[in-house]
Structure 1
C-alpha cells in the first residue's frame, strides 16, 4: 500500500492567553514630542541613562544660584529626559530648597515626616520604621487638586546594597496603548483619593482628620503636558480609585490594565544612589518606585516637592 505524505497540518488548535494582560513585543519608544526641535546643551554635559527617560547631568553645582540661562537649559533637559540625576552634590536642606524654588513654590505634606522645615520631607528608613511609599509605582500627590509639578530628592545615607529608585515614562506608556484602549480613555476622568495609598501604613485615626482637607478629586485619565503638549497616562496604583461614569467592575478592569503600563522595562530607568546624589523629576510625566530591598539597613532621603497646576 502506498502512503501519501499530506504534509504539515494547516490549521491550529485553539489556544489563548488571558485577556487584558501585558502586551509583549516591539514598542514605539519616542523620547521627544512630535515637532520638538532638539538642540545641543551648552552649559553642561548630559549622559543618557535610558532610551526615553533619565539622564545624568554633569558640570552643574546645584548649591550655587542658577542664572536665567542655566535654569532655562535645565528645564529643557527636564522636559526632554523627564528625570535628571546629579552626582555628589551634598546639598544642605536650604540649598536643596533654593534649587527647587527655581521651578515654583514648594509644597508641604502633613502626612509625611518633615525635615528641617515643613516643606522638606524626610524618609528615614531602617529596622522597625514605617515603610511609607516604597514598592509601589505612583506619581506624587495626585490626590491634590493641583498635583506636584516635580520633586528634588537627595540621598543623605545609603544602604550598603539596594535602595535604588526607578522611574517610568508615562508618555511612552500612553503612546503604546492599544488603539481601542486609547479610544476608551481619551477624554475620560478618574477619581483620585489619598486614603488608599496612605492606608497601607496609617490607620483611620491618622487619616480621618484630613478627609476635609483632601477631598476626592477628578483628573483626566490622559493628561496633556502644559509645556510640551505631550499626552501622558495619568492614573496610578496608590491614589486612583475609579474611572468616572463606568460601572465598578469595568472601571476596575480597565484601571488594572492601565496601572500595569508602568511595569514595562522599556519605559523605565533605574538609578543606583550614592550619598549626596540628587534626582530631579517631572511628576507630571513620570511615575516612580522606591525599591525596598535593603533589609534592616538604614536609608535616609530628603525630598522637596514643587507645587503644580491642575491637569487638563
Structure 2
C-alpha cells in the first residue's frame, strides 16, 4: 500500500467519525474541497461509495460503516504507539485534550498546569469547557473532569479535588428589601439567578439536603447564565440569589460583599475526579499531568 493511500484512509476515518467535512477538515488542517477530493479519489479506487452526502449531513454507507469499524481500531493503535514513543525522549511530550466544567477548569486544572507546564515545555494541553456529559472517547478527548458521582462506571477515575459544598448567596443590598429565606421552599418568593446546563435539559434545579431529606427547587428570576463568572457578578450587583461552589465565593463572604443563607441545607459532596479510559495510560505526558492533579489532601 502506498503512503498516500494511508492518508486517504485516515481522511475517510476523520469524516466518518465527525459526520462532517467541515469539522474533519479543521481537524486534519486541510480545506473542505481538498478533503472532498481525497474521499472521491478513495471511493473511485475502491469502486464503492463510502459516504452518503446531503446538504445537511454526512453519514457512512454500509460499506463505509464496515470500513470504519475495521480500520478505526487499527489506526487508533498506531496513534497510541506513536504517542508512547514520547517515553523515549528526555522529557515527556505530546498533546493532552481535557473536557471540564468552568469551575473545575479554573479551580483545579489551571493551578496544576501553571505549576507543572514550565518544567515540561514539550507537553501541550487543550482544555475545552463543556457542561455536557459527552463521550470523551468518541469526541477525541484524553480525559474529562466531573464530580465523582457523575463519572461513568466504565472509566478509570482519580480524585483531584477535596469534597465540595455549595453556597447560596446574595448581596447585602439584595437583602435590604427582602427577608432571608429560612428553608428552600422560601426561594419561590425570591429573584434567583438561574444556571442553564445541557445535562439537565434546561435550567438546573437547585439541590438541597438536610437530615437525610433531599429537595430540588426550580427557581425563578430575571437572569439565566451558563457561566460561573456572570452569575457571581450578578449576585454581587444585588440582582438576585446565586447558588455557587463555596470556594468561588469564600473571599466575598469574608469581606462582606455577599451574605450566605441556608448553609445548613448545603452539606459536602464528593469533589472533582479526572476520568479516562484505561487505554490512555500509555502516554508519559498524560502520566505527568495526572500526577500533578492527584489529590493528596
Give the TM-score, by structure 2 length. Answer: 0.25
Greater share of helix: 2
Give the TM-score, by structure 1 length. Answer: 0.24
* Structure of greater relative contact order (alpha carbons < 8 Å, 6+ residues apart): 1
Larger Rg: 2
